[in-house]
Amino acid sequence: MAFVSLTDYEPIVGKQCIEELYLLAEGLKGKRIKMVNSTAVGGGVAEILNRIIPLLNDLGITTLWTVIKGGEDFFEVTKKIHNALHGEGLSFPPRMKEIFLEVSRENLRYIDLEQDVIVIHDPQPIVCIESKDRTHAKWVWRCHIDISNPNEEVWDFLKGYVEHYDVALFSSPRFSKQLSIPQFLFFPSIDPLSDKNRDLEPEFINQVLDRFHIPQDKPIVTQISRFDRLKDPLGVIQAYRLAKRYTDCRLILAGGGASDDPEGELVLDEVRAEAKGDPDIHILSLLPTSSLEINALQRASTLILQKSIREGFGLTVTEALWKKKPTIGSAVGGIPAQIIPNFTGALVHSIEGTAYQIRYLLSNPEIARKLGECGHEYVKEEFLITQALRRYLLLFHVLSHPGERIIFL
Ligand code: UDP
């Protein structure tokens, strides 16, 4: 996607919002910010950094990005740490800690720490904080993952590092922890100008539906997700079947990642077996480059589901709400931060509850339309990239005025 400037967002969020960003940036001109994470492409963190860093620079705040390096053994360890923070059982033997620390310290030799603020994303580069005394920078730990129920041994190990930071940022109130440092709520965000979210011509949407052989003769209920048991695709099919007894509709289950993930392939097979014989269920295996197709499928849908059993923030929900779609989501992870029941969508706790909401919203299109409208406004208020920028700018001001209770801009 071509570089866009901040003013390109003005028609979406309004002149006042953009002017506020320029005003907030005024007092930060000349500051040097460094973002550090572990991958330049793939995954939500890289996606947001790719968008937000040019915009910070556009505002006159020099923002650099360093991606830490590591071999297979390092990333195997960090993946285990990641899963353990999601609650998976893990023994954390000394050798794993050694690999983690050795590679982190090796990286520290190359990272230019002459900055005003250093933002470390997620656990992979967390050990960089060991260099705190070598810089005058303020240090921020930005946690993108749900650590509400972590493996305690792994969390205790990481907490020893986290508490040396100046502040920690979490994606949802549910994800925060008891810490000795200040914490801020930083919602994830979507970019309304990206291929995943920008407006599409109806002709293009129709073409995509034709390409996937999906007739638009009845309401379409859709869940976009990796084929993963935690996204409960079989539960989605059961809910659709219960609802369909009363209200005719089609179901789309679309997602990628199946070909390079053995478990994904397995789940996809299970889903296909479950759906067999029903011509109104459309199972689509998408390529990683399918942003425009996902956008089109979401826009063609009457209702969007996210019936996860566990969830991080649930960006598919944000994307659906942005497209004014009535959205039904499980009350897990970051979904309740986005779906306010009977206002921006429907929150559910079971297959039966999901079926009930499908039936209810398909039978009450005016209520469904209002939920979609409110969902869109709520995303505009809280979850767009311009809000993420605003939060970063405010944070940089707070860090530049330590101990001050009121900051005059
Ligand atoms: N997504 C995608 N291709 C797929 C399935 C999902 O690009 O086949 C996108 C989806 O549109 C969303 C993100 O991947 O932007 C998924 O984020 P979410 O927080 O919903 O779930 P996760 O996959 O991170 O658990």
pLDDT digits (tens, 9 = 90+) for 368-408: 999 999 999 999 999 999 999 999 999 999 999 988 888 88
What is the number of helices (H) and of strands (E) in the chain? 15, 12
Counting residues of the chain whose pLDDT is more than 70, the rounded percentage is 98
Structural domain includes residue 196: no
Q: Could you give the CA distance from residue 316 to residue 267 in angstroms, rounded to a whole number?
A: 19
Q: Identify the CA nearest to 237 among candidates 191, 198, 291, 276.
A: 276
* Domain containing residue 280: CATH number: 3.40.50.2000
- The per-residue b/e assignment along 326-356, b for 16 or more CB within 10 angstroms, e otherwise, is bbbbbebbbbbbbbeeeebbbbbeebebbbb
Report CA torsion sign: 186, 187, 192, 193.
positive
Residue 403 lies in a domain: no
Asked whether residue 183 falls in the same domain as residue 216, the answer is: no
Check whether residue 92 and residue 148 sit in a common domain.
Answer: yes
User: Given the CA of residue 43, which atom of ligand 1 is nearest to it?
Assistant: 24
How far is the CA of 67 from the CAs of 78, 120, 182, in angstroms? 14, 10, 26
Question: Which of 130, 162, 189 corresponds to the end of one domain?
Answer: 189
Are 335 and 229 contained in the same domain? yes
- Name the residue at shortest CA distance from atom 1 of ligand 1: 225
Kindly state whether residues 375 and 332 are assigned to the same domain. Answer: yes
- In this structure, the answer to whether residues 185 and 252 fall within a common structural domain is no
How remote is the CA of residue 316 from the centroid of ligand 1, in Å?
6
Ligand 1 centroid to Cα of residue 112, in Å, is 33
Q: How confident is the model at residue 2 (pLDDT cuts 50, 70, 90)?
A: low
- 89 φ/ψ angles, rounded to the nearest 5 degrees: -65, 140
The pLDDT value recorded for residue 145 is: 87
Query: Does residue 404 belong to any structural domain of this protein?
Result: no
* 159 and 278 in a common domain: no
Ligand 1 centroid, distance to 288 Cα (angstroms)? 10
Do both 138 and 226 map to the same domain? Answer: no
146 close to 119: Cβ distance less than 8 angstroms = no
Band the pLDDT of 290: cuts 50, 70, 90: very high
Query: Looking at the structure, do residues 321 and 206 belong to the same domain, yes or no?
Result: yes
Print the domain residue range for 369: 202-382
Amino acid letter, 408:
F
Among 189, 213, 239, where does a domain finish?
189
Query: Which atom of ligand 1 is closest in space to residue 291's alpha carbon?
Result: 7
Query: Bigger pLDDT: 259 or 42?
Result: 42
Is 7 buried (19+), middle (13-18) or exposed (0-12) by CB count in 10 A?
exposed
Instruction: Calculate how far, in angstroms, residue 42's C-alpha sits from the geometric centre of ligand 1.
Output: 11
What pLDDT digit, counting tens, does each position of 56-70 carry?
Answer: 999 999 999 999 999
Tokens at 5, concatenated: 């400037």
* Residue 146 counted as domain residue: yes
Q: Closest Cα to atom 21, ligand 1: which residue?
A: 314
For 162-171, b/e burial (b = at least 16 CB within 10 A) is beebbbbbbb
Q: Are residues 299 and 358 in the same domain?
A: yes
Mean of per-residue pLDDT scores for the chain: 93
How deeply is 59 buried, as exposed, middle or buried, from its count of CB atoms within 10 A (0-12, 13-18, 19+)? buried
- Check whether residue 183 and residue 221 sit in a common domain: no
Task: Using the mean position of ligand 1's atoms as its centre, give its distance from the Cα of residue 123 in Å.
Answer: 21
Atom 10, ligand 1: which residue's CA is nearest?
316
Distance 226 CA to ligand 1 centre (A): 7
Residues with CB under 6 A from ligand 1: 44, 196, 224-226, 255-257, 286, 290, 294, 312-316, 319
